[in-house]
Structure 1
Amino acid sequence: MGAILNVFRLRIGGVLAQVVVLLSLAVYSSYGGGCTFPEGWTGRWFQSGNNGLIDINSTHIQSKGECSETESYDKFLLYDRSEDCYRCMVIHEKHKYVLQYKETYCSPKDSLSTICELISGDAPLYSMFRKEPRPVPQQCPFHPAPFTFTYNRGSSDCTNPPSRAESCTDDSRLLLRYMACPDVPGTESNIEELVCLATWKEGSTRYLVGKIAQVQRRNSIVSDEDTYRCFIYKGQHSDKSMTYYIAQSGDATCNGLSSPTDGSRTMKLTNSDDEHNRCHFPSWIVEHHKWYSLDRTHQYRFTTKNATLKIMNEDGSVDEKRLVCHSILEHKDKKHITLIAHVTMGCESGHACLKFYRREGNVLELQPSSNLTELAQDACTAGHQMPYITLITTSLTPMRCPIFGRYSVLNSLADRRQRRQQLAIGAAAEGSGGGEEAGRQCAPGEHDRASLGCGAAQDSIEFKSPCGDSTVYTCYGSWSEGGVGFLIAAPVARSSLHPRTFCFMYSTAARNETATAGAGGNGGGGGGAPLLALSAVSRSCNRSMVPGRDGDKAYNLTINGTCEQSSKYNSLSHRLAPAAALVVALIAACVR
Structure 2
Amino acid sequence: MINRNLLIHSFIVFFLSFFTASTNCVFPQQWNGSWFQSGEQQPITFSGSTMSSRGRCVASEGDKYLLVNEKDCKRCVVIYEKHQNVLQYKESECELEQNKPASAAISSVIRSDYNTDSRFQGNEQYLDPESGRELLNYYCEQIPGDAMLYSMFKIDSEPVKCPGPLKGQFAFTYNRGHGECKNPISKIKSCTEDTRMMLNFQACPDVDGTESTVEELTCLATWKDNNAHYIVGTLSHSLATSNEERFRCFVYEKINTNSGKHGSKDVEYRLAQSGDATCSGLENSEYGSRIMTLKRFGPAERCDFPKWFKEPKHWHSLNGELSYNVHQKNDGTIHITKEKPTQRLESRAVCEQINKQTANETIMVVEQTTGCNTGFLCLVIYRRDTHVVELQIGNLTSRLEDACAPDHYDVSRTPFTTLLAAAPTAESQECPLSGSYTLTGPLGPPYMMSRHKRNHINGSKQHHHNAPTRHDVLSFRNADMFEHNLHPYDRLNNQRHRRDLSKCMGAHKQRRRLSIGCSRDDIVEVHPQCSEAGDEEYVCHGSWTENDTTFIIARHAGTKHGVCISFKPSTTDSTAAQLIVGDSCYRETMSSEIPEHHLISNVTGIVRKCGDTSSSSKLSNYSLLISLTSWTAIILFRQQQQRVIR
* TM-score, normalisation: structure 2: 0.69
- Whether contact under 8 Å (1:290, 1:302) holds in the other structure is yes
Which position in structure 1 is the counterpart of 2:533? 469
- Whether contact under 8 Å (1:146, 1:167) holds in the other structure is yes
3-state DSSP of counterpart to 1:262: coil
2:62 maps to 1:94: no
3-state DSSP of counterpart to 2:74: strand
Q: Which amino acid is 1:362 matched to?
A: H
Q: Determine the C-alpha separation between the residues in 1 that align with 2:327 and 2:579.
A: 38
Q: Determine the C-alpha separation between the residues in 1 that align with 2:440 and 2:617.
A: 14
- Whether contact under 8 Å (2:339, 2:345) holds in the other structure is no
Which position in structure 2 is the counterpart of 1:448? 511
Which position in structure 2 is the counterpart of 1:575? none
Which position in structure 2 is the counterpart of 1:296? 320
Q: Determine the C-alpha separation between the residues in 1 that align with 2:203 and 2:357.
A: 41
Which position in structure 2 is the counterpart of 1:324? 350
Q: Determine the C-alpha separation between the residues in 2 that align with 1:188 and 1:549.
A: 51
Which position in structure 2 is the counterpart of 1:565? 612
Q: Determine the C-alpha separation between the residues in 1 that align with 2:540 and 2:443.
A: 24
Which position in structure 2 is the counterpart of 1:106? 94
Q: Which has the larger radius of gyration?
A: 2
Q: Determine the C-alpha separation between the residues in 2 that align with 1:312 and 1:387.
A: 19
3-state DSSP of counterpart to 1:260: coil
Q: For residues 530-576 of structure 1, what are the alpha-carbon distances to aligned partners after superposition, in whole Å with 9 as ceiling and x for unaligned?
A: 412111112x224347899665221011122223333647969xxxx
Percent of residue pairs bearing the same amino acid type: 34
Matches within 5 A, 1:327-338: 332-333=358-359, 335-338=360-363
- Whether contact under 8 Å (2:167, 2:189) holds in the other structure is no
Q: Determine the C-alpha separation between the residues in 2 that align with 1:547 and 1:503.
A: 18
Q: Determine the C-alpha separation between the residues in 2 that align with 1:362 and 1:25.
A: 82
Which of 553, 556, 564 matches 1:491? 556
Which of 46, 65, 84 matches 1:56? 46
2:336 maps to 1:311: yes
3-state DSSP of counterpart to 1:113: helix
Matches within 5 A, 1:23-38: 29-31=19-21, 33-38=23-28
Which position in structure 2 is the counterpart of 1:405? 435
- Whether contact under 8 Å (1:471, 1:491) holds in the other structure is no
Q: Determine the C-alpha separation between the residues in 2 that align with 1:445 and 1:372.
A: 51
Which of 259, 270, 291 matches 1:266? 291
Q: 1:413 to 1:289 in 2, by over 3 A?
A: closer
- Deviation for aligned residue 1:208: 1.5
Which position in structure 1 is the counterpart of 2:417? 389
Q: Which amino acid is 1:558 matched to?
A: T
Which of 576, 598, 601 matches 1:555? 601
Which position in structure 2 is the counterpart of 1:139? 162
Q: 1:144 to 1:92 in 2, by over 3 A?
A: closer
3-state DSSP of counterpart to 2:510: coil
Q: Determine the C-alpha separation between the residues in 1 that align with 2:353 and 2:529.
A: 53
Q: Determine the C-alpha separation between the residues in 1 that align with 2:570 and 2:233.
A: 64
Q: Which amino acid is 2:602 matched to?
A: N
- Whether contact under 8 Å (2:78, 2:89) holds in the other structure is yes
Q: Which amino acid is 1:451 matched to?
A: L
3-state DSSP of counterpart to 1:470: coil
Q: Which amino acid is 1:506 matched to?
A: F
2:566 maps to 1:505: yes
Q: For residues 264-300 of structure 1, what are the alpha-carbon distances to aligned partners after superposition, in whole Å with 9 as ceiling and x for unaligned?
A: 23333334x4245665545543443322221111222
Q: 1:507 to 1:259 in 2, by over 3 A?
A: same
- Whether contact under 8 Å (1:503, 1:541) holds in the other structure is yes
Q: Determine the C-alpha separation between the residues in 2 that align with 1:165 and 1:343.
A: 15
Q: 1:322 to 1:454 in 2, by over 3 A?
A: closer
3-state DSSP of counterpart to 1:36: coil
Q: Determine the C-alpha separation between the residues in 2 that align with 1:490 and 1:25.
A: 82
Q: Which amino acid is 1:96 matched to?
A: Q
Matches within 5 A, 1:116-515: 116-132=140-156, 134-140=157-163, 143=166, 145-214=168-237, 216=238, 222-237=241-256, 238=258, 239=262, 240-271=265-296, 273-276=297-300, 279-281=303-305, 283-306=307-330, 307-314=332-339, 318=344, 320-326=346-352, 332-333=358-359, 335-372=360-397, 374-375=399-400, 384-385=409-410, 387-392=415-420, 393-395=422-424, 396-410=426-440, 441=502, 442-443=505-506, 446-458=509-521, 459-464=523-528, 466=530, 468-477=532-541, 478-494=543-559, 499-510=560-571
Unpaired runs of 5+ residues, structure 2, are 1-13, 105-134, 447-475, 485-494, 620-646
Q: Which amino acid is 1:94 matched to?
A: K
Q: For residues 398-454 of structure 1, what are the alpha-carbon distances to aligned partners after superposition, in whole Å with 9 as ceiling and x for unaligned?
A: 4332122222234569999xxxxxxxxx9xx99xx99x8998743586120222215
Which position in structure 2 is the counterpart of 1:520? none
Q: Determine the C-alpha separation between the residues in 1 that align with 2:167 and 2:17.
A: 59
Q: 1:443 to 1:236 in 2, by over 3 A?
A: farther
* TM-score, normalisation: structure 1: 0.74
Q: Determine the C-alpha separation between the residues in 2 that align with 1:60 and 1:443.
A: 78
Q: Which amino acid is 1:42 matched to?
A: N
Q: 1:25 to 1:404 in 2, by over 3 A?
A: farther
Q: Determine the C-alpha separation between the residues in 2 that align with 1:266 and 1:32.
A: 50
Q: Determine the C-alpha separation between the residues in 2 that align with 1:27 and 1:205.
A: 45
State the number of aligned residues.
Answer: 511
Q: Determine the C-alpha separation between the residues in 2 that align with 1:351 and 1:415.
A: 33
2:106 maps to 1:76: no
- Deviation for aligned residue 1:503: 1.0
- Deviation for aligned residue 1:508: 0.3
- Deviation for aligned residue 1:119: 0.5
- Whether contact under 8 Å (1:74, 1:92) holds in the other structure is yes
Q: 1:37 to 1:553 in 2, by over 3 A?
A: same
Q: Determine the C-alpha separation between the residues in 1 that align with 2:248 and 2:396.
A: 35
3-state DSSP of counterpart to 1:446: helix
Q: Which amino acid is 1:460 matched to?
A: V
Q: Determine the C-alpha separation between the residues in 2 that align with 1:140 and 1:536.
A: 48
- Deviation for aligned residue 1:225: 1.1
Which of 585, 597, 609 matches 1:541? 585
- Deviation for aligned residue 1:340: 4.5
Which position in structure 1 is the counterpart of 2:31? 41
Q: Determine the C-alpha separation between the residues in 2 that align with 1:283 and 1:329.
A: 16
- Whether contact under 8 Å (1:97, 1:130) holds in the other structure is yes
Q: 1:344 to 1:305 in 2, by over 3 A?
A: same
Unpaired runs of 5+ residues, structure 1, are 1-23, 417-425, 512-527, 573-592
Q: Which amino acid is 1:447 matched to?
A: Q
